[in-house]
Amino acid sequence: MADQNPSILSHVSLGSNRFEDAATFYDQTLATLGCKRIMAHPGAIAWGREYPEFWLQIPINAQTATVGNGTHIGFFAADKASVDAFHRAALAAGATDEGAPGPREEYGEPYYGCFVRDLDGHKIEAAYWDMERAQQLYGDAQ
């Protein structure tokens, strides 16, 4: 079998009512995780490391973008320092803090992450999962 993208999702997309400001926000914030703009169309931009995995767009139906209650987007971070940098960059770009970087035992000891609300109020997260620690704790059961 040819190499397969390890992600289980093709992409996620969020609507924005402040598209240009939100695009700048995500340029600054996602850069801390090694992401860049992969594609752009009028009213839509995609970021990723290699693939267009995260999209920001003006809603296609021309209605107001809304925030999903209980919905959030989690981004992989390479290490704890990247989570910290993501949080700092997001706040500097106008995000609202929803949970400072740190461990959250309820998610498992190997987890370290943070949560913010973007300019439209969408909840986003950067998370680092310490695979070595997870292997020690859970073995192959993770």
Q: State pLDDT tens for residues 27-75.
A: 999 999 999 999 999 999 999 999 999 999 999 999 999 999 999 999 9
Domain residue limits at 119: 12-59+71-141
- Asked if residue 41 belongs to a domain, the reply is yes
- Asked if residue 65 belongs to a domain, the reply is no
- Asked if residue 45 belongs to a domain, the reply is yes
In this prediction, residue 3 has a pLDDT band, given cuts at 50, 70 and 90, of: confident
Question: What is the pTM (predicted TM-score) of this model?
Answer: 0.91
Token representation of residue 66: 């809304």
- Asked if residue 87 belongs to a domain, the reply is yes
User: What CATH number should be reported for the domain holding residue 26?
Assistant: 3.10.180.10
Give the total number of structural domains in the chain: 1
- Asked if residue 51 belongs to a domain, the reply is yes
- Asked if residue 4 belongs to a domain, the reply is no
- Asked if residue 3 belongs to a domain, the reply is no
- Asked if residue 90 belongs to a domain, the reply is yes
